[in-house]
Amino acid sequence: MIRRLILGSIFGGAMALAAPLVAQALRSHNTNAPVDVTADRIEVQDRADRAIFAGNVHVTQAELTLDAARVTVAYDRSGGNTQIDRVDAAGGVTVKSPSETARGQFAVYDLNRRLITMTGGVVLNQGPNTVRGGRLVIDLDSGRAVVDGSAVGGAPGTRGQGGRVTGRFSVPQRKGG
């Protein structure tokens, strides 16, 4: 949640390596692009200004995709125009960009604030690099991604290993080393 997710904050050194990727990558996602949704079932709750999609839900916006068991789309109809405000996903959520994949149990994409938040045993992959934690927050304006070990408001068992963030990063192969 994520044109280009990067590996989030783990240690000071990892942040220094990841910072250039973050700044370039996430800011280029077009949050004004149309949102397409497919699912096995839809329930429109017009008085509540929301639609609930269930079963093999697939959401696409530009190059960003989200897959989940259930997605609730909240919308605003003021001014005679329907605009999506927020997408809430639950049940084996996967968010993909062309170069990264994030997995967790829950995700919220706040289109107005341009934030994607994932919780519940989050795993973020970029090539051979992996970061695990309880919560991932991506700010699409600044390009900042933060992974922490706690899943504030998450379900039981949604913490990173020991409540901490863990990561594995590839290093360039050196001769004679």
pLDDT in tens, 11-26: 333 433 443 333 334 5
Q: Which residues of the chain have pLDDT under 70?
A: 1-27, 151-162, 177
Specify the 3-state DSSP secondary structure of 161.
helix
Q: Could you tell me if 2 and 108 are in contact, meaning their C-beta atoms sit under 8 angstroms apart?
A: no
- Cβ atoms 21, 3 nearer than 8 A: no
Q: How far apart are CA 38 and CA 132, in angstroms?
A: 29
pLDDT of residue 175: 84
| Helices (H), ranges, the chain | 12-25
Domain assignment of residue 143, given as a range: 12-31+39-168
| Structural domains counted in the chain | 1
Query: How far is it, in rounded angstroms, from Cα 67 to Cα 160?
Result: 22
pLDDT at 30: 85
**CATH number, domain with residue 46:** 2.60.450.10
Q: Has residue 57 been placed in a domain? A: yes
- pLDDT, residue 163, reads 79
pLDDT at res. 21: 39
